[in-house]
C-alpha cells in the first residue's frame, strides 16, 4: 500500500471519532483535521490543512500551546483545559490531549484530540456567577425563597428506615463529615438537606455539586475557585468551598470525581484551607462536607473509583439508606403523599387507592426506588379523568412489573408487536434515565447508544428528563 492509501485510511478513521482530531507533521504543518474539530473550533479544514499550526491558531501563545510542547519539547499533555480565540474571533474552550509521535528518537508528528466544553464552561461560569450574586441575598433573607427539605419531608414507618432517620438526626447535632450510601432514587439529597437544616449551620449556605457532571479541569475550578492567569481565560472567582464557608457542601456521586482530584480534596479536609487554581494564597475555610455514592463504598474502593483515605476521612458518620424493596411496608404511606402532590400538580381529585392497586404497587421491586414510585403515581394521576380512586386500570406500571407470557390472551392484551416493542424500548430508556438520575450522557453510555440517538428517542416518546 502506498502513502496515499495510508493517508486515506487515517482520514476515514478520524471521521468516525466523535472527538476532534488534529495531526501536524514535524514542521507543525497540518496534515489531518476532522469534521468534529471543524465543528468545535468553527474553522474550515482549508484554513488548517497545509498551514503551520501557529498561523492557523494565532490566538494561542506558543508558551501555552500543547502542540508546540509536543513538537519542540517532546512533552505530552493530557486532559488540559484550553481557552483561545479562533480565526473568526470566537472564544473556544476545549479539553485537549496532545502527544508527540516519535520514530528513532525523532519527532515526526504531533496528534491532538480535543473535546469541546465551551457550552459547559459557559454554563459553569454562569452558575458560579449566579451563586455569587444570590448567596449574600439568600443569607439576608434566610434563604426563604429557596426550596429546601427537612426531616418532616422524610416519609416512612419501617423500623430499619426509622433507625437510619434517627441516626441522621443525631448527625445534625454535630459538625462531623457524613458519608451517605444509597441506590439511585432513595433520597440521598433529601437526607443531606435535612441534616443541614437541622444543624447549627442552618442559617449558612447549603450548596450541592454533582461530581459526575463536569470534567476534572472544570470541577477543580468549581470547587476551589480560580485566579486570573491560572490558565488561559481564567478569572478571579471564588469556588464552592469559599461560597459555602460556614455552611455545608454536598458532594454528590463523589466516586465520579477523578482520582487525582480526590487527593486534593483530602488535603483540603485535613488542612481546612484551599488554594484557588493558579493561585498562591491559602484561604481558610469552615465547611461541613456531606458526600454521597449510589454503589457500595467497599466495591468502589476495590474498583479504584474511591480513595480509601478519602472515604475514611469522610465516613465519620456513615448512613446507609435502604432501598424501597426492603421497606415495602412504607409504600402505602408514600403513595398517599404522592397522590396529594400529584393532585395539586395536575388539578385532579384522586383521593385514595384500591386494595388491588396497592397489591400491584407492592409486588414490584422498584429499581429506581422512591423516585420511581413517585413517577408511577404521577403518571397514573395525570391520566385520570374524574376518578377519585386510583385503580389498577389507571396504574402506569413499568414493563418489568407486567411480565411477559406466551399465552395468546396476554399477547392480545399487550397489543400489536410494533406497539409492544415501542413500549418495551420506552421502559428500558425510562429505567436507564432513572438509574442515572436523568443524566442523558450517562444513560446513553448504559444503553450503548449515541447521546444524540437517546435525545431523539426521548423526544419521540415525549419523555422528560427524569
Question: What is the rounded CA–CA span in Å between residue 168 and residue 191?
Answer: 7
Q: So what's the pLDDT on residue 405?
A: 45
Question: What is the rounded CA–CA span in Å between residue 307 and residue 3?
Answer: 48
Question: In whole angstroms, how large is the CA radius of gyration of the chain?
Answer: 26
DSSP assignment string, 276-322: -BT---EEE---EEEEEESS-HHHHHHTTSS-HHHHHHHTTEEEEPP
Question: What is the rounded CA–CA span in Å between residue 272 and residue 241?
Answer: 10
Confidence of residue 213 (pLDDT cuts 50, 70, 90): confident
Predicted confidence (pLDDT) at residue 110 exceeds the cutoff of 60: yes
**What are the pLDDT digits (tens) for 404-457?**
444 444 444 455 666 667 777 887 888 788 777 788 888 888 888 888 888 888
Q: So what's the pLDDT on residue 401?
A: 54
pTM of the model: 0.63
Q: So what's the pLDDT on residue 428?
A: 83
Q: List 83's β-bridge partners, or say none.
A: 93
Q: So what's the pLDDT on residue 279?
A: 86
Q: List 112's β-bridge partners, or say none.
A: 22, 98
Q: List 24's β-bridge partners, or say none.
A: 30, 110
**What are the pLDDT digits (tens) for 342-399?**
999 889 999 899 999 999 999 999 999 999 999 999 989 988 888 899 998 888 787 6
The more confident residue out of 408 and 304 is: 304
Three-class HEC string of 383-441: CCCCCCEECCCCCCCCHHHHCCCCCHHHHHHHCCHHHHHHHHHHHHHHHHHHHCCCCHH
Q: Which residue has the cell 472567582?
A: 237
Q: What nine digits make up the cell of 105?
A: 528518537
Q: Which residue has the cell 504531533?
A: 110
Predicted confidence (pLDDT) at residue 35 exceeds the cutoff of 70: yes
DSSP assignment string, 168-183: HHHHTTS---EEEE--
CATH of domain 326-460: 1.10.8.60
Confidence of residue 466 (pLDDT cuts 50, 70, 90): very low
Pairing of strands 248-252, 288-293: parallel
Quick count: other Cβ atoms within 10 Å of Cβ 143? Answer: 19
Class of domain 3-116: alpha beta
Question: What is the rounded CA–CA span in Å between residue 67 and residue 93?
Answer: 16
Question: Using an 8 Å Cβ cutoff, are 201 and 247 in contact?
Answer: yes
Q: So what's the pLDDT on residue 139?
A: 44
Question: What is the rounded CA–CA span in Å between residue 161 and residue 22?
Answer: 55
For the ranges 13-17, 51-55, 420-424, the lowest mean pLDDT is seen at 420-424
As a whole number, the mean pLDDT across the chain is 84
Q: So what's the pLDDT on residue 192?
A: 97
Question: Using an 8 Å Cβ cutoff, are 180 and 188 in contact?
Answer: yes
In the chain, count H helices and then E strands.
Answer: 20, 14
Question: What is the rounded CA–CA span in Å between residue 10 and residue 16?
Answer: 10
Predicted confidence (pLDDT) at residue 335 exceeds the cutoff of 90: yes
In the chain, what percentage of residues exceed pLDDT 70? 84
C-alpha closest to that of 278 among 241, 229, 219: 229
- Give the mean model confidence (pLDDT) for residues 245-268: 93
C-alpha closest to that of 155 among 324, 363, 37, 381: 324
Predicted confidence (pLDDT) at residue 171 exceeds the cutoff of 90: yes
Give the right CATH number for 119-322 from 3.40.605.10, 3.60.21.10, 3.40.630.30, 3.40.50.300: 3.40.50.300
Tell me, what DSSP letter sits at residue 153? G
CA separation, residue 334 to residues 83, 140, 179, 370 (Å): 49, 35, 25, 8
Q: So what's the pLDDT on residue 137?
A: 46
Write down the domain spans for the chain: 3-116, 119-322, 326-460
Q: So what's the pLDDT on residue 421?
A: 72
CA separation, residue 266 to residues 64, 181, 273 (Å): 29, 19, 11
Quick count: other Cβ atoms within 10 Å of Cβ 128? Answer: 20
Amino acid at each position: 500500500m502506498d502513502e496515499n492509501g495510508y493517508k486515506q485510511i487515517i482520514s476515514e478513521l478520524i471521521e468516525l471519532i466523535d472527538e476532534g482530531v488534529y495531526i501536524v507533521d514535524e514542521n507543525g504543518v497540518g496534515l489531518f483535521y476532522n469534521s468534529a474539530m471543524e465543528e468545535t473550533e468553527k474553522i474550515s479544514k482549508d484554513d488548517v490543512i497545509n498551514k503551520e499550526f501557529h498561523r492557523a491558531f494565532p490566538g494561542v501563545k506558543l508558551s501555552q500551546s500543547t502542540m508546540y510542547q509536543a513538537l519542540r519539547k517532546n512533552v505530552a499533555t493530557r486532559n488540559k483545559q484550553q481557552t483561545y480565540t479562533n480565526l473568526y474571533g470566537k472564544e473556544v474552550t476545549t479539553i485537549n490531549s496532545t502527544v508527540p509521535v516519535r520514530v528513532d528518537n525523532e519527532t515526526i508528528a504531533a496528534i491532538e484530540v480535543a473535546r469541546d466544553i465551551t457550552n459547559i464552561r459557559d454554563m459553569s461560569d454562569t452558575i458560579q456567577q449566579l451563586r455569587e450574586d444570590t448567596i449574600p441575598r439568600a443569607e439576608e433573607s434566610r434563604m426563604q425563597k429557596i426550596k429546601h427539605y427537612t426531616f418532616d419531608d422524610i416519609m416512612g414507618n419501617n423500623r430499619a428506615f426509622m433507625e437510619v432517620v434517627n441516626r441522621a438526626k443525631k448527625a445534625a447535632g454535630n459538625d462531623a463529615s457524613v458519608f451517605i450510601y444509597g441506590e439511585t432514587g432513595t433520597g440521598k439529597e433529601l437526607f443531606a438537606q435535612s441534616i443541614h437544616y437541622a444543624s447549627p449551620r442552618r442559617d449558612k449556605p447549603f450548596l450541592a455539586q454533582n461530581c459526575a457532571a463536569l470534567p476534572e479541569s472544570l470541577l477543580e475550578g468549581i470547587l476551589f475557585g480560580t485566579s486570573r492567569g491560572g490558565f488561559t481565560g481564567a478569572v478571579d472567582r471564588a469556588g464552592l468551598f469559599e461560597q459555602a464557608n460556614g455552611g455545608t457542601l454536598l458532594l454528590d456521586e463523589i466516586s465520579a470525581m477523578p482520582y487525582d482530584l480526590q487527593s486534593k480534596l483530602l488535603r483540603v479536609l485535613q488542612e481546612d484551607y484551599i488554594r484557588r487554581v493558579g493561585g498562591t494564597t491559602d484561604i481558610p475555610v469552615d465547611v461541613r462536607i456531606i458526600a454521597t455514592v449510589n454503589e457500595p463504598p467497599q466495591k468502589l474502593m476495590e474498583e479504584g473509583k474511591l480513595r480509601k483515605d478519602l472515604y475514611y476521612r469522610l465516613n465519620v458518620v456513615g448512613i446507609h439508606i435502604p432501598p424501597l424493596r426492603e421497606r415495602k411496608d412504607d409504600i402505602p404511606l408514600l403513595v398517599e403523599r404522592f397522590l396529594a402532590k400529584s393532585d395539586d400538580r395536575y388539578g385532579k381529585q384522586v383521593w385514595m387507592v384500591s386494595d388491588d392497586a396497592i397489591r400491584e404497587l407492592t409486588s414490584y421491586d422498584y429499581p429506581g426506588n422512591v423516585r420511581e414510585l413517585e413517577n408511577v403515581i404521577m403518571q397514573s394521576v395525570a391520566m385520570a379523568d374524574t376518578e377519585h380512586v386510583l385503580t389498577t386500570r389507571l396504574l402506569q406500571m413499568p414493563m418489568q412489573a407486567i411480565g411477559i407470557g406466551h399465552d395468546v390472551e396476554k399477547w392480545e392484551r399487550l397489543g400489536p408487536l410494533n406497539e409492544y416493542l415501542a413500549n418495551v424500548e420506552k421502559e428500558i430508556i425510562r429505567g436507564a434515565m432513572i438509574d442515572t438520575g436523568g443524566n442523558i450522557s450517562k444513560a446513553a453510555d448504559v444503553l450503548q447508544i449515541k447521546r444524540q440517538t437517546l435525545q431523539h428517542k426521548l423526544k419521540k416518546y415525549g419523555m422528560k428528563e427524569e
